[in-house]
Amino acid sequence: MSDAPREPEATASFEDAAAVPSSMSNPPSPNSPARKSEGAGCFPAVLAATLLMGMVLFLTFGFAGYLIFQKRGDLAARTIRGTILSELEQSRLDPETKSAVIGQMTTLVDDIESKKLENWQAGGVMNRLVRAPLLRWGDLQAVDGWAKENLPEPEFAEFHKQVTRFFRAAELDRAIASDLQDVLVTVTGGDPAMMLGRLKSNLTKDNVREVAVRAKLVADRAEIPDQVFDDVSLPKIVDRLIETGIREGST
């Protein structure tokens, strides 16, 4: 009996067999179809179309804004002729004030149309005129006149003081068109939200008294002294607005 050492039999454990990759244990058949790549799909096309549309919109609105910027003078002249002058002619301003302000506006439009003013100057003047309580100034004067005829003298004196305090606030650029709209809301017919509203034909004492209350609130906020200001001139205010707009533009 031979004593030579026996070689160990090659054995593989269950774990070793499990560690073998499936691709090695089951190699793909030459006849099996290759797996197709899904790729990026339609996302690049959608992204490119979105970017292109954004560029088109940017250029379109940019060009439109440029045209409007260059036409500010023409727009201002049309607005003054088509809206402001028309409203002033129908306003309740006293005849002397109405004639003076309409003359100022007519001269302004002529200067704009004859290119005496540059676009930035016309735009500056227009911005200031639109903000000013110009178009309904005569309505507040008319309510003041109604109060003089229908309220007792002591009560009218207080009413008139608050109205003139509001006019002083406007003279100092501390009251604007929307403030006057709010002051007149109780005596305005139709939609009170409309900036070009009209006075009611049947005013009442209660509604008129509310005008004084609202005018006082605006004047107090503007820190106007509690006294009568009978020397406030609308034509002087308009002159100042035009001069400042020509000098400073919209700043």
pLDDT score of 250: 76
Please, are residues 98 and 84 in contact by the beta-carbon 8 Å criterion? no
**61 falls within a domain:** no
What is the domain count for the chain?
1
**160 falls within a domain:** yes
pLDDT score of 164: 97
The pLDDT of residue 18 is above 60: no
Confidence of residue 66 (pLDDT cuts 50, 70, 90): very low
Q: What are phi and psi of 116, to 5 degrees?
A: -70, -25
Q: Which residues are CB-neighbours of 221 under 8 A, at least 6 positions away?
A: 174
**181 falls within a domain:** yes
Residue type, 78: R
**111 falls within a domain:** no
The pLDDT of residue 17 is above 70: no
Range of the domain at 212: 137-232
Residue type, 230: D
pLDDT score of 249: 85
**244 falls within a domain:** no
**178 falls within a domain:** yes
Q: Which residues are CB-neighbours of 236 under 8 A, at least 6 positions away?
A: 171
**44 falls within a domain:** no
State percent of the chain over pLDDT 70: 69
**60 falls within a domain:** no
Task: Summarize pLDDT for 194-218 with one digit per residue, the tens.
Answer: 556 788 889 999 999 999 999 999 9
Lowest-pLDDT range of 47-56, 101-110, 142-151, 179-188: 47-56
